[in-house]
Each structure stands twice: as structure tokens, then as C-alpha cells.
Structure 1
């Protein structure tokens, strides 16, 4: 009976060690999909930021956010002094709809462009003219906010056509 108890105890110890080893393996495998402590972070840069001169009390904002980091991020909101109602919109099937956020992939980019995803300014308090700049602040899920100036361009400005 004593030998059987010793065998069961040894078996239990091996089973516990195996379970801990498997748990360790599975948690390190699953953490490959999420950032580890001390792992890389999003590295965001903004380029091509512009706003076509608004012809009514609403306008659009367009830019590209490039992420050279190895961690994805999300653009979650935009604020500006020209409007208290700034939102993120996507265009699908030729219809605009508000969204909560836009993904910015690791080592990738988010393009906000005419005819596609964009920033929407509603009930503008100011009506910027061509040649002026509009200050906005971009807010992200992981990264610190970025202050950006949108160059006000002609109402029909579209960099894709140049």
C-alpha cells in the first residue's frame, strides 16, 4: 500500500508538472497575437492631411496614418475647435455611415480619402477658406493623441486625380 501511495504521488507530481508545462506553452503561444510587456508599440506618422474648403456647414477631412511599429492601433476619435461634432465615417456601397474606430495595422497604414473612409465635421462653427489650416487632434486606442493641421484645399481637390 505504501508503494502504491508513492507511485500515485509521483504520478500526480508528473501530471501537475505536465499541466504547468502545457499551460506555459499555451500562454506563450496565445500571447504571440497580443503585445507582451516590453514588446513593440505602434509608431504613427500622419501625411497628406487636407480638408476641401467646405461649401456648407459640414466638411470632410482626409489623411494617411502610417504605422511603422509592430503593434496595431485604432483611430478612435477626432476633435477640433471648428466643430463640436466630429466623427469617423466609412463609405460602403456608396453610402456613408458613422463608425466607432478605424484599424491601423502593424507595419501598415490607414488611408482616409475621398470616396472612402474619412473624418466628418458637422455643424461647423467656422468656415475655413482655401489656404488656411484646420487644427485637429487624433485620438487612438493605444498611442498618445497626435495634433495635426489639415491644409484647406479647393472644394474639388482630390490628390488621386493629380
Structure 2
């Protein structure tokens, strides 16, 4: 084997070994970014003509956290994020979706508030919603409208 060929083989081996030792989560492969999906989404049919609540779970299978920064929908003048701590509810500007974790919006907990409704969502309809994330951009979701007394099996 010539010295040049031997050097090339050595360089390839070094590259393979070095690549194998890189720690996960350093921006290499899918572990370096959020992988978001939405589950268990629903809006209870509102009693009010002006406001409705929304619930869902944002699942992140990726190795990096992301942040839900806003929500928009043509059905409402605005959609706000609300965080519940203890028995107190407050509007927040963003909520974190942890790496390999989830952000849960459920009755009695974090939730979306659809304010200044342009039309009242009715059971059986679906409401188009855009979830805006700091890193992942926009995720579009069709949220079904359920009865006002709907109680999901998932506990949300």
C-alpha cells in the first residue's frame, strides 16, 4: 500500500471514530431539534358568544426544547395562552415545550382562550388554528368542537 493510500485509510478511520464519539444533542441529526405533533385537541362548545377555551397536548419527540409563542385562528379576534398555577390563572406570552416531553393544555390547567369570537363554534365543526413556535415555525391544526360537557378519556 502506498503512503498516500495508507494516509487516506487512516484519515477515514479517524473520521469514523471521531464521528462516533460526538455527543448526542449537539445539533447533529434529529436529536438537535424539536419534533412536534399535536394530540387530544378539542374545544368544548362555548356557552358564551364572545369566548371559548381550547385544550390539546403538544408532544416533542426531539432532543431540543421549543417554545409556543402565539396562537392564531380566523374564528377569534385573538387567542391567548393561559397558565394555571395553583388556583390562579394568568395570561402568558409563551410556554415551553420540553425536549422529549410535552406541553399539556387541559381543563383546570394551562389552556387557550379564544377571545372576541367572530362566530360561535358548534359541536361537530372543526376550528382551524395556527400554533406559532420560536424554532419550529407554524403548525396548523384542525381542532374538533365537542359538547360543552365533553370529558376526554385521556384526562385532558
Give the TM-score, by structure 1 length.
0.74
Find the counterpart in structure 2 of residue 44 from structure 1.
36
Cα distance in 2 for residues equivalent to 1:59 and 1:35: 41
Find the counterpart in structure 2 of residue 154 from structure 1.
147
Question: Does the CA contact (< 8 Å) of 2:127 and 2:142 recur in 1?
Answer: yes
What CA RMSD, in Å, does the superposition of the two structures yield over aligned residues? Answer: 2.0
Find the counterpart in structure 2 of residue 124 from structure 1.
117
Cα distance in 2 for residues equivalent to 1:115 and 1:123: 22
Cα distance in 2 for residues equivalent to 1:37 and 1:69: 12
| DSSP 3-state at the match of 1:150 | strand
* 1:93 CA displacement: 2.8
Gaps of at least 5 residues in structure 2 are: 1-22
Q: Within 5 Å, which residues of 2 pair with 1:10-159?
A: 36=27, 40-56=32-48, 57-159=50-152
* 1:122 CA displacement: 1.0
Larger Cα-atom Rg? 1
Structure holding more helix per residue: 1
* 1:95 CA displacement: 2.5
* 1:92 CA displacement: 2.1
Structure holding more strand per residue: 2
Alpha-carbon spacing, 1:122–1:68, altered in 2? closer, same or farther (3 Å): same
Give the TM-score, by structure 2 length.
0.77
Gaps of at least 5 residues in structure 1 are: 1-31
